[in-house]
Chain A
Amino acid sequence: MTVATRDERYIKEPTEPRALRIERLSVWYGVHQAIREVSFTIPARRITALIGPSGCGKSTLLRALNRMHDLTPEARVEGSVWWGEIDLYAPSTDPVWVRRHIGMIFQKPNPFPKSIFDNVAFGLRVNGYRGDIAARVEEALRKAALWDEVKDKLQKNALTLSGGQQQRLCIARAIALGPQILLMDEPCSALDPIATMRIEDLMRELAHTYTIVIVTHNMQQASRVSHYTAFLLADEDGTGELIEYAATRELFLRPRDRRTEDYITGRIG
């Protein structure tokens, strides 16, 4: 087994229809380069996991996929993310429009301090949903496997829910907008195993309709839920690079780069 040089990487692109094509994507925070020239393709209606040790840039990469870095003044993004014919980083692309179609679930559940109903209805209202908002809220909560637990207390403050319920509420309010892609940044790291299992079941269910990209520290989780896995690693300057990308079974059973094998067998990271 060898270490790939910078030019030839162990990147095996999926054969399925593509959801996102990431082209030579680099992100800087001030003078520090967080990721360097990452290129790969995320398949549609599949779960793609981003794994790697802390500081390898996997969250940075995820946040670049719906222009969250626009909110960080010192962050700078170069390269392209193609969604169909649209480059998310073209000057003519409106980040507000991007984020409605590419939703995000954060590490720590972050429901608004409002009622459960309003948490889901907010995105629908600001985006001018023409249909019946109450019906759509119910459908989204059902889809997120939360409806039975909250149907009698929709007007209660969302912060009264447990952590796992809060995270499913965040998923419900994201999918209510009918996004094509869901980005999840370690969505289970603050949850107990049972809540984690429920979220994973939900992800499998949602993957029939949505493209999911998940950042996870938990390699069992990556191997359990994802179809494709990208392994990132930071070089000595702390700049993350894509080391290997393949179908999850292949990457975990027959890693081709020595560093991938070291990481998934627990020798580094």
Chain B
Amino acid sequence: MRTDRFAITEQEFNPRLPLRRRFGGLFGLLSAAAILIGLVTLGLLIADVVRDGWQVLSWDFLTSYPSRRPQDAGILSALVGTFYILLLVTVIAFPLGVAAAVYLEEFAPKSRLTAFIEVNISNLAAVPSIVYGLLGLGVFVRTFMLGRSLIAGALTLSLLVLPIIIVASREAVRAVPPSIREAGLALGASPWQTARYFVLPAAFPGILTGTILALARAIGETAPLITIGALTYVAFTPKSLFDPFTVLPIQIFNWVSRPQPAFHDRAAGGIIVLLAVLLLFNATAILLRARLQRKIRF
């Protein structure tokens, strides 16, 4: 029935449905293989670490200071140091990063200067961490005379993760639909009130994701802290912000570089604890994000 010139018959198509279905299946398999490669590698690494380190895990291991005798050596000072550092980095970098992102997205004039600043923040995220260590050494340790203290380490790591938080937060703020802002502004809310009551809550899950990634980076950093002079052997826990400190990666690094195999097992134990701390932090943030996301949907 071709009364209409526009009508079309099945013969004019070669849909090759079975072939396309097979392609789809193949692509699904490839994607599954891609995730398997990552998972298997990670699984092997963890299995290797757990095999070496599980027998050193004990309450004593967590509550002892490092020692020259491997059987007595523990990670108390490193664990406490890592905890303090993470806490301080969160308190310093999170508000600064979010505020900078909100300024850039919501308040800054769309000028060349703003664009220039934005590009450079993205570039900063890729600067090697040792450079931040040198910066921290020059600025916080020497100029501000903070010494090899907890606060100098936290400030240095905060600088390191700030670009990550800013870039992620900006993306999250930008993803909030303009109609939400228009709705707030049209009711007579000031730009700040609109940002405070609507844009920030809507962007918060994305901001948290960025912060999780940033903190995960901070917890694993060793080089900048060694550069500013964090100690490798600390037989006390910091009592104030200005006390010397050490963190888990430094302690692990220290044990790995010793000749005695018994210390290598301690290092593996330390890695397990580091992973557990990281998991704990991330799980908290992910739970928080999941709860927020249930409340806000577009």
The 8 Å CB contact of B21, one of A94, A126, A177, is A94
Q: In this complex, what residue of B is CB-closest to A100?
A: B15
A162 adjacent to chain B (CB < 8 Å): no
Please list the residues of chain A having a beta carbon within 8 angstroms of any beta carbon in chain B. Answer: 94, 96-97, 100, 126-131, 139-140, 143, 175, 177-178, 208-209
**Count of A-B contacts judged by CB separation below 8 Å:** 40
Complex: A177 Cα to B14 Cα, angstroms: 12
**Is B17 a contact of A96 with CB atoms below 8 Å?**
yes
B5-13, B55-63, B200-208, B231-239: which lies at the A interface? B5-13
Q: Considering the chains assembled together, what is the distance between the CA atoms of A130 and B14 in angstroms? A: 7
Q: Which residues of A contact B4 (CB under 8 A)?
A: 208-209
Minimum CB–CB distance from B271 to chain A (whole Å) comes to 38
- Most chain A Cβ neighbours within 10 Å, of B5, B15, B17, B21: B15
Closest-by-CB residue of B relative to A101 is: B10
B20 lies within 8 A of chain A by Cβ: yes
Q: What is the total number of residues of chain B having a CB less than 8 Å from a CB of chain A?
A: 15
Can you name 28 A-B pairs with beta carbons within 8 Å? A96-B20, A96-B21, A97-B15, A97-B17, A126-B20, A127-B13, A127-B14, A127-B15, A128-B13, A128-B14, A128-B15, A128-B16, A129-B13, A130-B12, A130-B13, A130-B14, A131-B12, A139-B5, A140-B6, A143-B6, A177-B13, A178-B7, A178-B8, A178-B9, A178-B12, A208-B4, A209-B6, A209-B7
Cα–Cα distance between A143 and B5 once the two chains are bound (Å): 11
For B7, the chain A residues whose CB sits under 8 A away are 178, 209
Interfacial chain B residues near A209, Cβ < 8 Å: 4, 6-7
Task: Please indicate the chain A residues that have their CB under 8 angstroms from the CB of B8 in the complex.
Answer: 177-178
* Given A140-B6, A143-B6, A178-B7, 4 more pairs with CB closer than 8 A: A126-B20, A127-B15, A130-B11, A178-B9
How close is B147's CB to chain A, nearest CB, in angstroms? 55
Chain A contacts for B17, CB-based, 8 A = 94, 96-97
Please give the distance in Å from A135's CB to the nearest CB on chain B.
Answer: 11
Given A139-B6, A208-B4, A209-B6, A129 and B12 touching (CB < 8 A)?
Answer: yes
Q: How far is the CA of A127 from the CA of B6 in the complex (A)?
A: 17
Distance, CA A126 to CA B21, complexed state (A): 12
Q: Which residue of A lies closest to B14 (CB)?
A: A128
**B residues near A94, Cβ cutoff 8 Å:** 17, 21
CB neighbours (8 Å) of B16 from chain A are 128
Near A by CB (< 8 A), chain B positions 2-47 give 4-9, 11-17, 20-21
B228 → A minimal CB distance (Å):
48
User: When chains A and B are docked, how far (Å) is the Cα of A127 from the Cα of B8?
Assistant: 13
- Chain A residues with Cβ under 8 A from B20's Cβ? 96, 126
Q: Which 9 A-B residue pairings sit nearest by Cβ, starting from the closest?
A: A178-B8, A128-B14, A127-B15, A127-B13, A143-B6, A131-B12, A130-B12, A128-B15, A139-B6
| Interface core residue of B4, B8, B16, B17 (most chain A CB under 10 Å) | B8
How far apart are the CA atoms of A96 and B20 in the complex, in Å?
10
Chain B residue at smallest Cβ distance from A136: B8
When chains A and B are docked, how far (Å) is the Cα of A97 from the Cα of B16?
10
